[in-house]
Amino acid sequence: MSNASLAGRPLVPPIRPEYDHVLAPFVEAPVERVLPFSTRLWQQDWLRKGLIIVALILLWEGLARWQDNDLLLPGFGATMAALFDGLVNGELLDRVRISLVVLLQGYVCGIVLAFLLTTLAVSTQFGRDLLSTLTAMFNPLPAIALLPLALLWFGLGSGSLIFVLIHSVLWPMALNTYAGFQGVPETLRMAGRNYGLRGPSYVIQILIPAALPAILSGLKIGWAFAWRTLIAAELVFGASSGRGGLGWYIFQNRNELYTDRVFAGLVLVVVIGLVVENIVFAAFERLTVRRWGMAR
């Protein structure tokens, strides 16, 4: 930053002598070193996240003991006991099964519709306009807001649930898939056409795998939306259905002031969400997009 030299004479670097070393083999220190065990351990995701969960459980248990009112806030121990009871006598498992069956029906229907809509959108201008208009209209609309209408149309039962589930999955899934297709590099498209691929085989062999990161994130978002929509919908109208799912279990037990069972139901909702996210989707990602270097 010596402005004097800038302003004064022109910058002339000094002429230094040249040198030309013959380098001896490098032996002073190892080129690679193994990190210490503690550092490697701390890099494990599950360990750090597990510690956070343990801390939250301790906080919860502490609060519950300080409050000392099982009707308002049962502790971790009481919740686990209720959860254990529910799982052992089969009631909770049955509720989960009912919920998941409905959920999967809605989820799969939503995905299929999303693929149809996206295929239309990538192939025609009309499809593009249709997709962008529909998603702009319906994506912000909470699925649960359609429930009264669904009940009117499809009556009490799984038909209405599947209708709102489709609504919650279809739009985010279609948006993500479409964005994924749009993001396929032009060179890769040309390479695919160069092989003589066209029509459905072009979509299946080039577009879908190339858009898989976006499709996967659509599947994940769709799953989360569907799961929370289902539980909410069951809380609203499961009350009039004979065989309710997990949401209905929560609602029923709140009415009867079994707060520990309410907590057990909530814990199960969270756990199922975590398992699907961290085991099912994570395994799928590891086998596909991560292995291919398409996602970190």
**Positions in the binding site for other proteins (CB under 8 A):** 185, 187-188, 190-191, 193-197, 201, 205-206, 209-210, 212, 288, 291-294
**Least distance between other proteins and beta carbon 128 (Å):** 16
Q: Which residues contact 92 (CB under 8 A, 6 or more apart)?
A: 83, 86, 246, 249, 264, 265, 268
**Least distance between other proteins and beta carbon 119 (Å):** 20
| Helices (H) then strands (E): counts for the chain | 15, 0
Which CB sits closer to other proteins, 155 or 196?
Answer: 196
**Least distance between other proteins and beta carbon 135 (Å):** 24
**Least distance between other proteins and beta carbon 111 (Å):** 20
Which CB sits closer to other proteins, 84 or 292?
Answer: 292
Which CB sits closer to other proteins, 73 or 210?
Answer: 210
- C-alpha 137/C-alpha 83 separation (Å) is 41
3-state secondary structure of 70: coil
Question: Where are the alpha helices (H) located in 124-245, listed in sequence order?
Answer: 125-138, 147-154, 158-182, 186-194, 200-202, 208-210, 212-237
**Least distance between other proteins and beta carbon 177 (Å):** 17
Q: Which residues contact 207 (CB under 8 A, 6 or more apart)?
A: 122, 181, 184, 189
Cβ proximity of 251 and 232 under 8 Å? no
**Least distance between other proteins and beta carbon 129 (Å):** 17
Which CB sits closer to other proteins, 98 or 212?
Answer: 212
**Least distance between other proteins and beta carbon 109 (Å):** 27
- Token pair belonging to 79: 């919740």
Which CB sits closer to other proteins, 17 or 185?
Answer: 185
Which CB sits closer to other proteins, 157 or 209?
Answer: 209
- C-alpha 230/C-alpha 153 separation (Å) is 18
- C-alpha 110/C-alpha 227 separation (Å) is 13
Which CB sits closer to other proteins, 270 or 287?
Answer: 287
**Least distance between other proteins and beta carbon 54 (Å):** 36
Provide the phi-psi class of 268: left if phi over 0, else alpha when psi is between -120 and 50, else beta.
Answer: alpha
- C-alpha 67/C-alpha 37 separation (Å) is 41
Which CB sits closer to other proteins, 60 or 284?
Answer: 284
Amino acid at position 257, single letter? L
